[in-house]
Copies of this chain bind each other. A is one copy, B any other.
């Protein structure tokens, strides 16, 4: 445990967040997500909700302001306009914690998979609610 740092952030996760640079992306995935086969770097957080993880990650990581959609979620299969409960939570947490405002954008399931495969890391949480997945793009901290 460290002073002022959310204790659900493991040493491996702190390392990844600090090693990421401008434009790198990280996936917060739910418990059913195929994180091992898709993640270039997999960080497990079984037993932690995606919401709690999002809050912890955004407390340290700036969002990218060079792009339109620095935070994207997975659309419900067959109902792309639906807003699952987990996604509603995510938007509220972004509004509350992020260093810059961002409106979540939904993308199709397999487009989400392709982007996850190219991401810097995947955090596999224990989130049991379906569609509890979000991709965040890291921004810049000025001088």
Contact = CB atoms under 8 A, between A and B. Distances in A.
Interface of A: 1-5, 7-12, 14-24, 31-38, 44-48, 52, 59-62, 66, 77, 99, 120, 124, 126, 128-130, 140-143
Nearest to A140: B32
Given A1-B32, A7-B31, A15 B12 contact: yes
6 contacts: A3-B61, A3-B62, A12-B15, A19-B36, A37-B120, A130-B143
Contact of A47 (B3, B17, B18, B47): B47
Contacts of A44: 10-12
A2 B126 contact: no
Nearest to A99: B3
A77 B67 CA distance: 12
Contacts of A48: 46-48
Given A66-B77, A140-B130, A18 B23 contact: no
Contacts of A23: 34
B141 A129 contact: no
Given A15-B12, A19-B36, A47-B47, A3 B141 contact: yes
